[in-house]
Amino acid sequence: MKDSDVLFITNKNGMKTHAVLPIELYSKLIALKGLLNVTAPLGEHELYTFSCQNVSAKGYPFGTRRKPYFYVTKDSQAVLMPVSSVPGHIQQMREELLSDRTLQLDPPNNCFVFTKDYKFQSPSAAAAIIAGTVRNGLDVWLNREGFSLKDSGFGIKVKKRAPNK
């Protein structure tokens, strides 16, 4: 199929509002929709995982797609030692999690473990605590199909349109 096979209907401002596409493409989209309906149920929240340096964590986004909070679930792991270049606010957050016992030492697994679900201000803050290094949380948290938060539509910035003159 070529791009020219799809036609667009626009409003009076030139914005695309509808697409007219070949029946073959429509049939494929309907078949994909059917596949989505037969996958295992997600439950209340779709879980995402992040693994690095022999630790593994699970969590889920919450709030708006543009700027989600991120909950890390109980029993998720975090590395023992952050790198020396980790930003001060991440180091301070880590120390707070240790002092309030949200993170506890897990000697058999040589890591820290979350003792309860914990809400972070962003997926990146959660990933930084777990990895001990700065990470882009939108890229490293993956769902069961292997799609990142970014692939799933989180963190997408809305483009501002130029004012009409």
Q: Give the model confidence (pLDDT) of 115-124 as tens digits.
A: 999 999 999 9
Strands 77-78 and 16-20: unpaired
Predicted confidence band of residue 33 (pLDDT cuts 50, 70, 90): low
Identify whether 91 is part of a domain.
yes
pLDDT of 71 reads: 97
Considering the domain architecture, whether residues 60 and 103 belong to the same structural domain is answered as yes
- In-domain check, residue 80: yes
What is the structure's pLDDT at 42? 43
Q: Exposure string (b/e) for 10-20, b if CB count within 10 Å is 16 or more? A: eeeeeeeeeee
Domain count for the chain = 2
pTM over 0.75: no
Q: How many other CB atoms are there within 10 angstroms of residue 52's CB atom?
A: 16
Task: Verify that 55 and 30 share a domain, yes or no.
Answer: no
Mean pLDDT of 34-41: 50
Question: How many Cα atoms sit within 13 Å of 31 on the Cβ side?
Answer: 6
Which residues form the domain of 136? 48-140
For residues 41-59, average pLDDT: 85
**42 lies in some domain:** no
pLDDT digits (tens, 9 = 90+) for 83-129: 999 999 999 999 999 999 999 999 999 999 999 999 999 999 999 99
Is residue 145 in a domain?
no
71 has which bridge partners? Answer: 60, 119
Residue 152 inside a domain? The answer is no
